[in-house]
Structure 1
């Protein structure tokens, strides 16, 4: 059997000798936290609290001007901060029982005292506010850019000129004899032009993620109420579909968003609703007719 070299053993003993006191030092320096408070290791929270109050009154700088007493007061306060909390107390007891696990004990200590202690709810609220702010800025930027693009189109300029003609009876245009619209009148007329841009909506606070999360219980309740009313009205009582509900079924059958549906003229809406496209046979017939019409246009 090979002999064990004494050098590695000596190194291990040296490391152990250095680490054993260090495990305690990260908490109460070289002192024992229980000894500083004068309590046993199995003392309960009430006993620890009473011992701390008694020692703090005795060694408080306002009560005792002795410099040594002031140092002892700091040590007692530190020991109490460690032992009053169940988590840090367990970590301290573990460090005393397992001084060889120096790196683990040090990591636990710094995580407890210098780790992130902010309430997760506050973090979530802050994150939602930041995300919502960026979302609103993005919506506002996209909408502004789309509006500016529309204002450069001939259709928009023609609409402004038509409104100017209606407002002034053509007098202003005849006087100027130019294509330029008066700036003040243009600013007034812009508010009367309905700019409907498909795929771009005006920024709304109600569409922000943070607001929607807050109103989630309301939306869930509203959805459940709507489902119950729908089931009672059209499944149990077998009533004919109301106009709004028929529009909803038609829109969902065609898989078009609400904003697109709102831009369809009333005659086309009525024609689509009358076809009852939510029924499979009617939808198949409608799609076949649409394909035939597309071929003829080609």
Structure 2
């Protein structure tokens, strides 16, 4: 009876061991530990030592005949594969898991191919390259937008005439006066391209462009924003704590900066957008005390009514309404004649 029990235990272990080795995964039907003549308890140094001994013994260069070389090449490839699997701790852990849990067939396939085809490049390097590329594109976009704006402003008569006057005052361009003509008589006539370059430089120096076309700055690229994020976060928290303590608890009177902050928040614009408003609009905003939310709501409603009134008095809008009343665009129907 005891003999049968031992036989069943042996057969059960043998069946599990056979089925735990999946063809096409890791070392196939072979056991990676057996291939290197080591046990599952072997450490990394023992695995390296065993592989080196086998590599020296079965290296293809050691073979004496062509037939032996083919055999050695196949064995050497098998040993190298087993070594690659067992030397990596994560892959070895997955392999041991397959030996211990042969029934989890699909899980073993997933883990094996995840290691086999996973990218070998460090994710940190990929992130650094990606952030650097984005930062370079951002700076180039800023540079391109800024000089597109400069090139356009030079063609606007208002700014071009002002730039020409400044250039003449600074002696960068010749004037029509007799004195300047005598002074510049021996000089070579300035080319059109040189004149354009001077005018662009003056426009760039004298005009402060805002918004998306403002002067490029390295502080607006992703790299610097990520580096300075903790500092900006600290300033933001400090500002809110100061606001809460000064105005919510101590009830101090609002200063101009605080009022301007509330104005921008109520109007849902940033500081640059506010500065792009005309002087008349800014004066009206301060006169109406738009930093108070109720005043802002009322002011917005009044502006909407004014816009509707202007629209209703517009000739184009009246023509459009008549067009709609008369039936609008023709409609296609499929009614039988």
- Normalising by structure 1, we get a TM-score of 0.69
Task: Describe the shift of the 1:266–1:238 C-alpha distance in structure 2 as closer, same or farther (beyond 3 A).
Answer: farther
Q: Which of 126, 149, 171 does residue 146 from structure 1 map onto?
A: 149
* Other-structure match for 1:52: 47
| Equivalent runs, 1:159-170 vs 2, <5 Å | 159-164=162-167, 166-167=169-170
The reply to whether residue 36 of structure 1 matches residue 39 of structure 2 is no
Task: Describe the shift of the 1:76–1:122 C-alpha distance in structure 2 as closer, same or farther (beyond 3 A).
Answer: same
| Equivalent runs, 1:30-179 vs 2, <5 Å | 31-40=30-39, 43-44=40-41, 47-56=42-51, 58-59=53-54, 61=56, 66-67=62-63, 75-93=78-96, 98=102, 108-164=111-167, 166-167=169-170, 172-175=175-178
Task: Describe the shift of the 1:268–1:91 C-alpha distance in structure 2 as closer, same or farther (beyond 3 A).
Answer: closer
* Other-structure match for 2:3: none
Which secondary structure state, in structure 1, belongs to the residue aligned with residue 289 of structure 2?
Answer: coil
* Other-structure match for 1:14: none
Deviation digits for residues 51-87 of structure 1 (CA, Å, limit 9, x no counterpart): 324435645649x99548x866765454233123343
Which secondary structure state, in structure 2, belongs to the residue aligned with residue 172 of structure 1?
Answer: coil
Contact 2:48 2:83 in 1 (8 A): no
Which secondary structure state, in structure 1, belongs to the residue aligned with residue 127 of structure 2?
Answer: helix
Aligned-pair distance for 1:117? 2.7
Aligned-pair distance for 1:225? 0.9
* Other-structure match for 1:17: none
* Other-structure match for 1:220: 233
* Other-structure match for 1:13: none
Aligned-pair distance for 1:230? 0.8
Moved more, 204-213 or 256-265: 256-265
Aligned-pair distance for 1:191? 4.2
Task: Describe the shift of the 1:164–1:118 C-alpha distance in structure 2 as closer, same or farther (beyond 3 A).
Answer: closer
Measure, in 1, the Cα distance between the counterparts of 2:201 and 2:136: 31
Task: Describe the shift of the 1:187–1:141 C-alpha distance in structure 2 as closer, same or farther (beyond 3 A).
Answer: closer
Moved more, 224-233 or 282-291: 282-291
Gaps of 5+ in 2: 1-18, 182-190, 314-337
Which secondary structure state, in structure 1, belongs to the residue aligned with residue 177 of structure 2?
Answer: helix
* Other-structure match for 2:332: none
* Other-structure match for 1:272: 285
Task: Describe the shift of the 1:266–1:230 C-alpha distance in structure 2 as closer, same or farther (beyond 3 A).
Answer: farther
Which secondary structure state, in structure 1, belongs to the residue aligned with residue 252 of structure 2?
Answer: coil
Aligned residue pairs total: 271
Measure, in 1, the Cα distance between the counterparts of 2:114 and 2:301: 67
Gaps of 5+ in 1: 1-19
Measure, in 1, the Cα distance between the counterparts of 2:215 and 2:43: 62
* Other-structure match for 2:319: none
- Normalising by structure 2, we get a TM-score of 0.62
* Other-structure match for 2:255: 242
